[in-house]
Amino acid sequence: MKIQPDILASALLVASSQLAWAQASCSPTPTYTFTPEQLRNANRTLSIGYVVYPGYAILDVFGPLQFLEGLSWPFSINLSIIAKTAGPVGSRPPPHHTPDGSIMDMSRMIDVQLIATHDFQTAPPLDILIMPGGVGDLHLVEQNDTAIEDFIASRFNTTEYVLSVCSGAGFLARAGVLEGRRATGTKAVWDFVTQFGTNITWVPSARWVEDGKVWTSSGVTAGMDMMVAFVRHLYGDPRVNNFVNNLEYLAHVDPRWDPFSVLHKVPGANMSIPLTSTVSPLQPYPEEA
Amino acid sequence: MKIQPDILASALLVASSQLAWAQASCSPTPTYTFTPEQLRNANRTLSIGYVVYPGYAILDVFGPLQFLEGLSWPFSINLSIIAKTAGPVGSRPPPHHTPDGSIMDMSRMIDVQLIATHDFQTAPPLDILIMPGGVGDLHLVEQNDTAIEDFIASRFNTTEYVLSVCSGAGFLARAGVLEGRRATGTKAVWDFVTQFGTNITWVPSARWVEDGKVWTSSGVTAGMDMMVAFVRHLYGDPRVNNFVNNLEYLAHVDPRWDPFSVLHKVPGANMSIPLTSTVSPLQPYPEEA
């Protein structure tokens, strides 16, 4: 599919955005407004924990983590990678059964091993808990292994934020922490994710959903867009945008734009969502922000 | 910065793309054309090696790797993660000196450890070699540690493709394998990357550059767009596009669109490149492709 952008519209967009940037950068003494929470976050240490398991999806973990890693230079962030057993955890999914009862052996897939720093017993207090998805969840569900859900449930009330990516929302649902909330998950296996939990308003068309302390994203790479929105929420645009631009990341900033809900014909999806959207770098700020 | 997309242009784009998709999916017996190389790649094992070092950039490695990992299910792909010493390698940059001679201590940053499977002596024959960037390169350059460059030079003639992400192009330049070629690298530290090597045509405005067997990308997340183009080149769109869509990734498919070269005012950049572009899911194909 070849898309020819509308030249005039494009030129107008660029002119308006460059004007806005020029205005921002010409201001000799810019003053920025931060929320009390943003001021507090910039001056404290945030304890962030990722839960991983064999068969985690690589970018569910490392996509959002790139943004947190970079921001651990200007800000104080501690990271714990938490698994059933500390040590190497691989991305290769363990075998699971298909609906017809046969075994799905995925041992041909390449295996990327990261090192979990803590187990569920040794994990420190967490301000933020992040739950990635991955095909490995099929094995855990099949085995009735609820160690992760038990950990989430035990930590939910003492964390300030809980985030999930892709099928990670299934873990939150099974842990019971999505009750009474709006949430989303990957559109590629929507039926699987949304079968869990009770009294959850699953949002079929959403790149991500923010409901109070719980942020849930759609599939895999949607987690990066959620994380960009989340760190802008945590620290404020003037302290985050330049960093995102330095990663040369082009964030989708409208959580309602979800062309994949249309593509996958998710039940209840807003089928009038355009498949095409525009992106640009985030508004830059003078370095002293 | 708020951007209001041109509604009419957007509607036309969507209509034309949906028409193209409808035509593709209505064809009862689609026939796809693959290049001889694509047919060969689909039926052989590709040996892919990543070179890593302390202070690698997380998404330089794991962004492109997500696409290769997923494609190791339909295709046969072996992965080697290669470092000076096999075992854990962290993302935290070692100390390096700033231009004024003081020591830049980055030990406050969070550290993500992956496991290198091979060292430079035990690495298997490689069809594809991938070189990520990262702040850790400053330490290696300062120490005159050329082990990575020596490895690249020793393997260059026997690999079919060599790829770099971000400041990874600096390693290729120092290894001498970019001589007589066009290449690009991150726009955030353009001067640093392009100081290395001789007889290299550095392309200031490029999301990525393909020059024969060498593909080089701009900064960090540009590596994912390069990799999407690369795996479509390797295996053909009909065998790749649905997978990319299932990751809910919105690829930038024009290698010349590089708003960050404009933002960073890179010398020689094409300053008429619009800062805004359009994205959409890739064209889907019937599953049997």
Q: Which residues of A72-92 are buried (b: 16+ CB within 10 A; e: fewer)?
A: beebebebbbbbbebebbbbb
Distances (CA, A) of A67 to A231, A251, B102, B128, B220: 8, 12, 27, 28, 11
| C-beta pairs of B3-8 under 8 Å, 24+ apart in sequence | B3/A13, B3/A16, B3/A17, B3/A278, B3/A280, B3/B276, B5/A9, B5/A13, B5/A277, B5/A278, B6/A6, B6/A8, B6/A9, B6/A12, B6/A13
Min CA distance, A250 vs chain B (Å)? 8
Is A108 part of a structural domain of the chain?
Answer: yes
Closest to B279 measured CA to CA, from A272, A275, A219: A275
Min CA distance, B103 vs chain A (Å)? 15
Residue of B nearest to A249 (CA): B221
Residue of A nearest to B56 (CA): A66
SS3 content of chain B, % helix, strand, coil (to 5): 35, 20, 45
Residue A196, sorted as left (phi over 0), alpha (psi -120 to 50) or beta, turns out to be: beta
Torsion over CA of B269, B272, B273 and B274, rounded to 10 degrees?
140
| Distance, CA of A32 to CA of A42 (rounded, Å) | 14
- What local confidence, expressed as pLDDT, does residue A13 receive? 39
Q: Is residue B109 scored above 60 in pLDDT?
A: yes
Q: Are A217 and A182 in contact (CB under 8 A)?
A: no
> What are the tens digits of pLDDT across the range B220-231?
999 999 999 999
Within 10 angstroms of residue B201's Cβ, the number of other Cβ atoms is: 12
- Which residues, numbered 103 to 122 in chain A, qualify as contacts with chain B under a Cβ-Cβ cut-off of 8 Å? 106, 108-115
Q: Are A23 and A216 in contact (CB under 8 A)?
A: no
The residue among B190 and B25 whose pLDDT is bigger is: B190
Which of B165, B250, B280 best tests the A interface by mutation, with the highest count of A CBs <10 A? B250
Mean pLDDT on B36-55: 97
Mean pLDDT of chain A: 90
Is A14 part of a structural domain of the chain?
Answer: no
Q: What element of type H or E holds B129?
A: strand B128-131
- Which residues, numbered 238 to 267 in chain B, qualify as contacts with chain A under a Cβ-Cβ cut-off of 8 Å? 245-250, 252, 259-260, 263
Min CA distance, A252 vs chain B (Å)? 9
A187 and chain B: CB distance < 8 Å anywhere? Answer: yes
B153 and chain A: CB distance < 8 Å anywhere? Answer: no
Which of A47, A50, A59, A67 best tests the B interface by mutation, with the highest count of B CBs <10 A? A59
Is A6 part of a structural domain of the chain?
Answer: no
B89 and chain A: CB distance < 8 Å anywhere? Answer: no
The residue among B21 and B265 whose pLDDT is bigger is: B265
Min CA distance, A193 vs chain B (Å)? 14
Q: Are A65 and B91 in contact (CB under 8 A)?
A: no
Between A14, A109, A260, which is nearest B73 by CB? Answer: A109
Q: Which residues of A touch B14 (CB under 8 A)?
A: 274-276
What is the full per-residue pLDDT of chain A (289 aa) written as tens digits? 333 333 333 333 333 444 444 444 444 556 788 999 999 999 999 999 999 999 999 999 999 999 999 999 999 999 999 999 999 999 999 999 988 889 999 999 999 999 999 999 999 999 999 999 999 999 999 999 999 999 999 999 999 999 999 999 999 999 999 999 999 999 999 999 999 999 999 999 999 999 999 999 999 999 999 999 999 999 999 999 999 999 999 999 999 999 999 999 999 999 999 999 999 999 999 865 4
Classify B147 as helix, strand or coil. Answer: helix
Which of A107, A276, A280, A282 best tests the B interface by mutation, with the highest count of B CBs <10 A? A276
- As to burial, measured by CB atoms within 10 angstroms (0-12 exposed, 13-18 middle, 19+ buried), residue A137 is buried
Please name the amino acid found at residue B231: V
CB pairs under 8 A between A and B: 225
Is A22 part of a structural domain of the chain?
Answer: no
Backbone angles phi, psi at A66, to 5 degrees: -55, -40
Q: Which two tokens stand for residue B84?
A: 């000076």
| Distance, CA of A232 to CA of A67 (rounded, Å) | 11
Residue for token digits 């409901």?
A: A211
Min CA distance, A82 vs chain B (Å)? 12
Q: Which two tokens stand for residue A132?
A: 């990635």
Q: Are A171 and A164 in contact (CB under 8 A)?
A: yes
Q: Residues of chain B with pLDDT > 90: what percent? A: 86
Number of domains in chain A: 1
Is A192 part of a structural domain of the chain?
Answer: yes
A226 and chain B: CB distance < 8 Å anywhere? Answer: no
- What local confidence, expressed as pLDDT, does residue B29 receive? 52
> What are the tens digits of pLDDT across the range B78-89?
999 999 999 999
Mean pLDDT of chain B: 90
B276/A279 touch (CB, cutoff 8 Å), yes or no: yes
CATH number of the domain within which B128 lies:
3.40.50.880
- What local confidence, expressed as pLDDT, does residue A16 receive? 41
8-state DSSP, A142: H
> What are the tens digits of pLDDT across the range A107-150?
999 999 999 999 999 999 999 999 999 999 999 999 999 999 99
| Distance, CA of A252 to CA of A282 (rounded, Å) | 10
- What local confidence, expressed as pLDDT, does residue A69 receive? 96
Q: What element of type H or E holds B65?
A: helix B58-71
Between B13, B76, B91, which is nearest A276 by CB? Answer: B13
Structure ipTM: 0.89
Residue of B nearest to A65 (CA): B58
CA pseudo-torsion sign B120, B121, B123, B128: positive
Within 10 angstroms of residue B86's Cβ, the number of other Cβ atoms is: 18
Min CA distance, B249 vs chain A (Å)? 6
- Grade residue B151 by pLDDT with cuts at 50, 70 and 90: very high
- What local confidence, expressed as pLDDT, does residue A112 receive? 94
- Grade residue B287 by pLDDT with cuts at 50, 70 and 90: low
- What local confidence, expressed as pLDDT, does residue A63 receive? 97
A106/B277 touch (CB, cutoff 8 Å), yes or no: no
Backbone angles phi, psi at A217, to 5 degrees: -115, 165
> Which residues lie below 8 Å from residue B158, measured CB to CB, with a gap of 6+?
B125, B126
- Which residues, numbered 17 to 46 in chain B, qualify as contacts with chain A under a Cβ-Cβ cut-off of 8 Å? 17-18, 20-21
A3/B110 touch (CB, cutoff 8 Å), yes or no: no
| Distance, CA of A244 to CA of A228 (rounded, Å) | 8
> What are the tens digits of pLDDT across the range A231-262?
999 999 999 999 999 999 999 999 999 999 99
| Distance, CA of A57 to CA of A132 (rounded, Å) | 7
Distances (CA, A) of A206 to A4, A34, A209, A262, A279: 26, 27, 6, 11, 17
A250/B221 touch (CB, cutoff 8 Å), yes or no: yes
Distances (CA, A) of A130 to A142, A163, B117: 22, 5, 27
Is B138 part of a structural domain of the chain?
Answer: yes
Is B86 part of a structural domain of the chain?
Answer: yes
- What local confidence, expressed as pLDDT, does residue A98 receive? 86
| Distance, CA of B210 to CA of B232 (rounded, Å) | 13
Q: Which residues of B touch A3 (CB under 8 A)?
A: 13, 16-17, 278, 280
Closest to A277 measured CA to CA, from B76, B281, B66: B281
Residue of B nearest to A223 (CA): B248
Query: Which domain covers residue A52, as residue numbers?
Result: 34-263
Is B17 part of a structural domain of the chain?
Answer: no
8-state DSSP, B146: -
